[in-house]
Amino acid sequence: MRTFLSTLVAVFLTAIPAAVFADYAYTFQVPVTASNLPANTGLQATCILFSGALGGGSTLSFGTSPNAKLTNGGYSGSLTVTASSATKPGSYQCIVLVKSGANNLNLVGTDPKAPASGWSGTMQTTANIP
Whether 72 is in a domain gets the answer: yes
Q: Give the residue numbers spanning the domain of 57.
A: 6-107
pLDDT digits (tens, 9 = 90+) for 11-42: 444 444 444 445 899 999 999 999 999 888 99
Whether 45 is in a domain gets the answer: yes
Give 26's contacts (C-beta < 8 A, 6+ positions apart).
15, 16, 17, 18, 47, 49, 82, 83, 84, 89, 92, 129
User: At residue 122, does pLDDT exceed 90?
Assistant: no
Number of domains, the chain? 1
Q: How confident is the model at residue 7 (pLDDT cuts 50, 70, 90)?
A: low
Whether 37 is in a domain gets the answer: yes
- CA distances for 56 relative to 41, 60, 64, 87, 130, angstroms: 31, 11, 20, 15, 15
Where residue 48 sits, what CATH number does that domain have?
A: 2.60.40
Whether 80 is in a domain gets the answer: yes
